[in-house]
Amino acid sequence: MRRACITGGAGFIGSNLADRLLADGSEVVVVDDFRTGRRAFLGDAAEHPHFRLVEGDVLSPGILEDAFAGCDWVFHLQANADVRHGLERPRLDLEQNTIATSKVLEAMRQTGVSNIVFSSTGSVYGEPELFPTPEDAPFPLQTSLYGASKLAGEGLIAAYATGFAITGVICRFVSILGERYTHGHVIDFYRSLKDDPREITVLGDGKQEKSYLYVQDCIEAILTAVARHEGQGGAHVYNLGTDETVIVDESLALITGRLGCTPAVRHTGGVRGWTGDSPLIRLDTSKIRSLGWAPKLTIGLAIEKTVDWLEANEHVWRPQVQP
């Protein structure tokens, strides 16, 4: 890879990817407006001679065309990555996930970039009937606006791959953990325990069964799929996750164990924490494993690593007090 653009490259996954691609010898362009991303996450990258930042909203005219010029890959990680609050702001997922993806594809066409990685999600499976859930599971019913907006993005990429001979690598991630983690239930629990280590509220019955993947394992898997399909044309879908799952109450126990507290746990009840929360996520990862990839970290180790990183990076989770 000569030059790659990462949309959303100041975010959790994108900034880790930027560091990795620079270390591998690629030129990296990040486009981001820092709405959830952090300048600090690009601290090392910004020092690198092969790094360029295009600061702005991907929906603003000209931003993507500027960022994509001369690139051979786009890693499209920009999105509204918040799954839980979709019903409160129905336009957000449509605009930031589906329409933004269509803008990315059009800008690729204008600038002649022919390869894209898309950060999709296991949420596209809604509440599947088949476990572990393979990429070709029966067409799923959608249960969240986030999942629906990502599935629409996948559809656009597949159509551009057919119509305009681009290569699309579509990665359906489980929840990702690790350094620079800023959103999701581990940080929600962590913040709550920092506020009050004596008690904690868990949304749902705490029996929801989830799967997680360490961010460096996620990046390795993406790059494995990229190496396999570069320039090949077509759309290629991969589940990215571990074969393990963890119950929400078990992940809470790992966090409290790491923090050395024993809170009273209150469950709000019900098999789902919120509308669209899937009670069981277990993806079939045999397709990405068939390319020789395997995760290095277990879920337990990934949770502990994330807690340790949050402990060392208070600026990420402590609400900023305005002077």
Ligand X SMILES: NC(=O)c1ccc[n+]([C@@H]2O[C@H](COP(=O)([O-])OP(=O)(O)OC[C@H]3O[C@@H](n4cnc5c(N)ncnc54)[C@H](O)[C@@H]3O)[C@@H](O)[C@H]2O)c1
Q: Which residues bind ligand X (CB under 6 A)?
A: 8, 10-14, 32-37, 57-59, 77-79, 81, 96, 100, 119, 121, 173, 175-176, 182, 184
Sequence letter at residue 147:
G
Closest to ligand X by CB, 200 or 302: 302
Shortest Å distance, C-beta 252 to ligand X: 17
Q: What angle do CA 208, 210, 212 make, to 5 degrees?
A: 160
Task: Say which DSSP state 133 is in.
Answer: B
Closest to ligand X by CB, 96 or 98: 96
Shortest Å distance, C-beta 3 to ligand X: 19
Q: Say which residue the tokens 């929360």 belong to.
A: 277
Shortest Å distance, C-beta 222 to ligand X: 10
Q: How far is CA 133 from CA 51, 122, 129, 138, 281, in A?
A: 38, 9, 8, 10, 8
Closest to ligand X by CB, 14 or 126: 14
Closest to ligand X by CB, 263 or 310: 310
Crossing angle, helix 248-259 and helix 299-312, to 10 degrees? 40
283: three-class secondary structure by DSSP: strand
Q: Which distant-in-sequence residues (6+ apart) come within 8 Å of 249 by Cβ?
A: 202, 206, 207, 265
Shortest Å distance, C-beta 228 to ligand X: 20
Shortest Å distance, C-beta 164 to ligand X: 22
Closest to ligand X by CB, 119 or 208: 119
CB environment 182-202: b (16+ within 10 A), e (fewer): bebbbbbbbebbeeeeeebeb
Shortest Å distance, C-beta 196 to ligand X: 26
Rounded to the nearest 5 percent, the helix, strand and coil shares of the chain are 40, 20, 40
Closest to ligand X by CB, 95 or 197: 95
